[in-house]
Amino acid sequence: MHLKKYFIANWKMNGLKKDLNQVENVEKFLLKNKTLGNLKCVFCIPYTLLGFASCKLILKKVILGAQNISKKQTDIGAFTGCISPYMIKNFDGKFTIIGHSEIRSEGETDKDINLKIALAAKRGLKVILCVGDTLKDFKNKNSLKIVKKQLNLCLKNNKKYLKNILIAYEPIWSIGTGVIAQNIYLEDFLFKLKKYLKLKFKKNIPLLYGGSVSSKNIHDLKKLDLCDGFLIGGASLKSKNFIDIIKNYYN
């Protein structure tokens, strides 16, 4: 278990300029509640908002992040539609999500993800590496095997970047569905995953949970001792929901 707790917002394809008020509200809440010292709050917003956010927000308690990077091995160049870690850093981005199942489902491979991790880490970005099982994997009791395989492929030759990496376990069948595994299952799963990571990589890598996290189920999720934080999609779009998650976690 890490002392730091991560609350990471994944806005996906949501958010206009006006919606940055939601991030502002969260930042104001965190500035007022100084006792939440061990909390790290990251907002992974769309690329289109990063520039505006870096000018508009105080960024004392909230850290900015992106949701992906290009796999081009260069900072700048003639690559239409691509965004490099260098460009994200230019707008105060400190984190990026890599390997989200919604991007994997469009053809991103573990090999692509492996490459992107190295690119992001070399540029000093922290990587939130997403891994997860399908419902079929879960039903066939293959979840751990599948997730270990993803981790092996994504982290192969990337051991030197481990200090830049956080792992988010996101069962695909829990993302945006409101369906969440029982605590007893998650506890056992995170325990096995953590043990495996320690054995294989000799490091205590922060392990997060993602998938339908809400202000209601956080009461149960906070009992997961091995969970170092949460990757939060839908419930991160409105500051009230996000703040309620934090409040209920600490109360």
Q: Does residue 234 belong to the site contacting ligand PGA (CB under 6 A)?
A: yes
Q: How many residues bind ligand PGA (CB under 6 A)?
A: 13
Verify whether residue 100 is a known catalytic residue.
yes
Verify whether residue 187 is a known catalytic residue.
no
Q: Does residue 164 belong to the site contacting ligand PGA (CB under 6 A)?
A: no
Scanning the structure block, which residue is given the tokens 């000799």? 202
- Our CB check for ligand PGA shows the closer of 14 and 70 to be 14
Beta strands in the chain (DSSP E): 5-10, 39-44, 62-66, 93-98, 126-131, 165-169, 207-210, 229-232
Q: What angle do CA 153, 6, 30 make, to 5 degrees?
A: 155
Q: What is the DSSP string of 159-201?
A: GGGGGGEEEEE--GGGTTTS----HHHHHHHHHHHHHHHHHHH
- Our CB check for ligand PGA shows the closer of 10 and 143 to be 10
Q: Does residue 211 belong to the site contacting ligand PGA (CB under 6 A)?
A: yes
- Our CB check for ligand PGA shows the closer of 93 and 233 to be 233
Figure out which of the listed residues 231, 243, 245, 246 binds ligand PGA, where binding follows CB under 6 A. Answer: 231
Q: Does residue 132 belong to the site contacting ligand PGA (CB under 6 A)?
A: no
Picking from 79, 77, 53, the residue whose alpha carbon sits closest to that of residue 66 is 53
Q: Which residues are catalytic?
A: 100, 170
Residues contributing to the site for ligand PGA (CB under 6 A): 10, 170, 175-176, 210-213, 231-235
